[in-house]
Amino acid sequence: MSTIGAQRLKPVNRHLVIVPHVQKNETNSGVLLPDDFSQEEDRYISASVVDIASDCSSDFQRLRRISHENNIVVVDRGMIEEVKLNNKTHYIVLENYVIGILRGLDED
């Protein structure tokens, strides 16, 4: 019998569990903006990949073999799903909405 606190979301059906890289409501000068201030958001956002469904393409399967800090993808912000379970929030995206994998100039 597993404990609720020890569970994690395992993605299936070509999904990836990600951590979106969102910016806080802060200006370049460091001044905090009100929470209700609506700043124009970019359509695409970078995100760290936490887990990958086993039926994702080979490009994503390769991410399993490299260090987690290099698992950065670019996704369509509007396609990120927020899943709240047991007081924990998970973010998932279908592999079709990942438009690229960020790599250094010397990486494939």
34-45: pLDDT as tens digits: 777 666 778 999
Q: What is the mean pLDDT of residues 20-34?
A: 70
The per-residue pLDDT for 32 is 73
Q: How crowded is the C-beta side of 21, counted as CA atoms within 13 Å?
A: 13
Strand order in the sheet with 72-76: 81-85, 88-94, 15-20, 44-52, 72-76, 98-101
pTM score, whole prediction: 0.76
Q: Please, what is the average pLDDT of the chain?
A: 84
pLDDT at position 25, please?
Answer: 53
- What pLDDT score was predicted for residue 1? 47
Q: What are the strands, taking DSSP E only, across 1-108?
A: 15-20, 44-52, 72-76, 81-85, 88-94, 98-101
For 58, the 3-state DSSP assignment is: helix
